[in-house]
Structure 1
């Protein structure tokens, strides 16, 4: 029924820390508090009693998917000086839904996020298929249908779907089934660490695999003969906050000024999720690479944790990244100013040189501190000095060109008058004339 055997994953999301066990423990807490209020006995320290409560809570949760109420009976759950104690509680579906609603609500954000990551809207979704035991709960089904705005399919057993899907995928990986193709996606972004510790993304989250992408980088210092490629995975803007997948060096680069070498970094992910990262110097053709296998990849829980952290610290990360980018820009402007001053030696006066030096020194001093607003102000001041100097250079060049054009025009005008000069303008008059031949005859 779907794509003639081709299944393409557009996006993936979720919360591995939330599930049916959370509802079970909510029921257990309810039973513990009720039993303590009646008997003044706290069962939390009794491991046997806690195991019985957990089992009874799960059973009651399952029964309430089809019933409106159920009874929980646990005889001889505890004892005191007055004798043995029994636990009895009537749990209604409405009370269960009251306990479960805050837990189920946690799924709203992942649902909306995965739709957004897939570049879809709820209207674009044709069918909603619920799998897993918790989706049998009427509250969960109603919640999903309200969130997406579409009824869920009723003809799919949520428990069988998980088992059958795992069996089919296992057969595909083993090569026993060849008429089904699963196009998976990268769960997290992949990139490299660049100047200032920034994680520069090369492959975005939820990119369909297999895939191959490249990006060209350069050196950050003059006469740099080696670069370190630090491969990271995650959604945080700073490399240190992401997962390090590996690191390798590209050596033997010819000495050159910063920004001149062209180093192409390529990510190649095959259908099995194996990542090959290579770095190639486009000038010399030298290359280094690293292979990252499944054994070094993140578990599903770690992926979800990193995604949550990226959202939790989004504002803090944004400020840190802005500061690093500002410092990188300021450092680049200092380098540009110093190089420009050398290149324009003899074309600018001492006053312009002093202004550049003063602006550079002020910015360098500010970079030693942590006042971001001051760094931004000094950086803008240096940019203003460079722009002013650039404008003067171009104005001087334009004036020289105009003077040369005027000189050329004057030379052209002077050359036209060298044969007797220009004739004055005046009236046209008639005049008598006579023709005299060589013999003097008219």
Structure 2
């Protein structure tokens, strides 16, 4: 089965890459070379902050620091109500549930996480169109390597709502490897350490015989610079016995203090009407448990790839939080070598996405084949809530795997498949992506029916499941679009309203 086919569209279409980040977002284009597109004030970074006010939407700096603005929405993308912790979003806006969706209460009107993400994409699109003087319609968007199927589908829905066609969703660490030109090297094994505002990803990438392949990933979708900020606030609050609660304005001040501590050994100044003295050493001791967690995830990725530390040729740093000196030190101590940091860690992912968009749009034969992996195991539920693994994590994609099952009794005329994602051994410890029901199984003795279950993942990481009863040639299939976000019908309705 041919899983994907890259065709060569018009050369006039700009090669656009988007880094849709937790804290900041960027848009880049590649012509002769890749570059990040700035706004009229020469700002390349768009804060991922959205404010709904007076029937209008403000995205970016104009929304920063206001009490009713929405920040770090990426932490909610693709999540259901039961997945959310209060620390996942710093805002006074309350959310409620509708079929397990997160809905933000904006002035009494429910707004989905997908719609908020779409506003950020629209702002980036408008910026690019203004600078390039042409329509932007096709893009490569980056996502955390550990984004599950629900989060990836929600990202695609947001792009559709912003009237953008997604050429490919690629993992953020993979994009970073492309930006560094690791795909142009003859061979080697590289590790990408991606510590952003809200997520942490590790990817191990190999280059051999013209193929650049991600062979292992690990990560945490709730670990990043935002957590450093919360820890710093707690540290200062306890040290000076403050009673203030975290809000948007305090968060801005905390971020400024943290950024200062990346270049200065201590910070002295006025914070919440009190003179504060905090040292880099105090801060680094406070965040050390999180840094140790990143080391454990690196060890896990190395174990999955069956590699030793000394086999890694280079370490690439991605994300603004990697500017923290303690981050660089813990990586240097672990690998006994300095990481690569020549490219701005805020821009590297967007640049890599633009590089990949250029390859897809132009069908460059000289470009290396890029193979990504599925970050989490895909399974089905068997009798007794047992999990049967179909596609293990870190399997290269695109991929198609078929397994054969049978009937448990002569009276069985149907089969309902619960499709799961996760590393747990039981159904309760995995996430259900959806169900597929196969009807019309013939009444034949137990064990004689042949039911083939096929899992197909395309190059974008989108999963299709096909069930087929071979004796009667009955089949059903489903492309998974989990309900954490907006349905296709809702997206189309919103597009119609906006036009």
TM-score in terms of structure 1 length:
0.57
Partner residue of 2:252? 55
Given candidates 263, 266, 270, the residue that maps to 1:66 is 263
1:63 to 1:239, Cα distance in 2 relative to 1, 3 A: same
| Distance in 2 between residues matched to 1:128 and 1:142, nearest whole Å | 13
Out of 181, 195, 200, the position equivalent to 2:383 is: 195
- Greater C-alpha radius of gyration: 1
**How far has the Cα of 1:203 moved from its partner?**
0.7
Which residue does 2:449 correspond to in 1? 261
Which residue of 222, 229, 233 maps to 1:28?
Answer: 233
- Which of 292, 298, 310 in structure 2 is aligned with 1:105? 292
What residue in structure 2 maps to residue 212 of structure 1?
A: 400
Q: Which runs of 5+ in 2 are unaligned?
A: 1-180, 185-209, 486-499
1:246 aligns with 2:449: no
Q: For the structure 1 residues 152 and 251, does the alpha-carbon distance in structure 2 shift closer, same or farther, using more than 3 Å as the test? A: same
Residue 139, structure 1, aligned to residue 336, structure 2:
no
Tell me the secondary structure at the aligned position of residue 318 of structure 2.
Answer: coil
For residues 302 and 483 of structure 2, what CA distance do their matches in structure 1 show? 25
Check 1:25–1:278 CA distance in 2 against 1; reply closer, same or farther (3 A cut): closer
SS of aligned partner of 2:268: strand
Question: Residues 261-340 of structure 1: matches in 2 within 5 Å?
Answer: 261-292=449-480, 295-296=481-482
How far, CA to CA, are the matches of 1:53 and 1:130 in structure 2? 28
> Counterpart of 1:186?
374
The structure, 1 or 2, with the larger RCO (C-alpha pairs under 8 Å, 6+ apart) is 2
Q: Is the 8 A contact 1:172 1:180 kept in 2?
A: no
In the alignment, does 2:244 pair up with 1:44?
A: yes
Q: Is the 8 A contact 1:72 1:91 kept in 2?
A: no
1:298/1:214 CA distance change after superposition, 3 Å: farther
Gaps spanning 5+ residues in structure 1: where? 37-41, 78-85, 300-442
Q: Secondary structure at the match of 2:476?
A: strand
Q: Contact between 2:390 and 2:403, CA under 8 Å: does it hold in 1?
A: yes
Does structure 1 conserve the Cα–Cα contact (< 8 Å) formed by 2:183 and 2:368? no
Quote how far apart the aligned CAs of 1:240 are.
4.0
Hey, what's the Cα distance between the residues in 1 that align with 2:403 and 2:462? Answer: 19
Structure 1 residue 6 displacement after superposition: 5.0
Aligned length: 278
Q: 1:182 to 1:222 in 2, by over 3 A?
A: same
Aligned residue in 1 for 2:275: 88
Structure with the largest fraction of helix: 1
Q: 1:163 to 1:270 in 2, by over 3 A?
A: closer
How far apart are the structure 2 equivalents of 1:279 and 1:190?
15
Structure 2 distance, partners of 1:222, 1:296, is: 33
Matched residue, 2:419? 231
Change (3 A) 1:234 1:29: closer
CA distance in 2, matches of 1:30, 1:241: 34
Q: Decide which structure has greater strand share.
A: 2
Deviation at 1:53, TM superposition (A): 4.0
Aligned mates of 2:456, 2:248 — CA distance in 1: 48
The superposition leaves residues 31-55 of structure 1 with CA deviations (integer Å, 9 ceiling, x where unpaired) of: 323443xxxxx4425x6xx555433
Cα RMSD for the two superposed structures: 2.6
Structure 1 residue 103 displacement after superposition: 2.5
1:375-413: CA deviations, max 9, x gaps?
xxxxxxxxxxxxxxxxxxxxxxxxxxxxxxxxxxxxxxx
Provide the rounded CA distance (Å) in 2 between the counterparts of 1:93 and 1:240.
42
- Report deviation, 1:222: 2.6
Query: Where do 1:280-429 residues align within 5 Å?
Result: 280-292=468-480, 295-296=481-482
- Residue 8 (structure 1) shift: 2.0
Q: Which residue of 2 is the match for residue 2 of structure 1? A: 182
Distance 2:484 2:400 in 1: 20
How far the C-alpha of 1:249 sits from its partner, in A, is 2.7
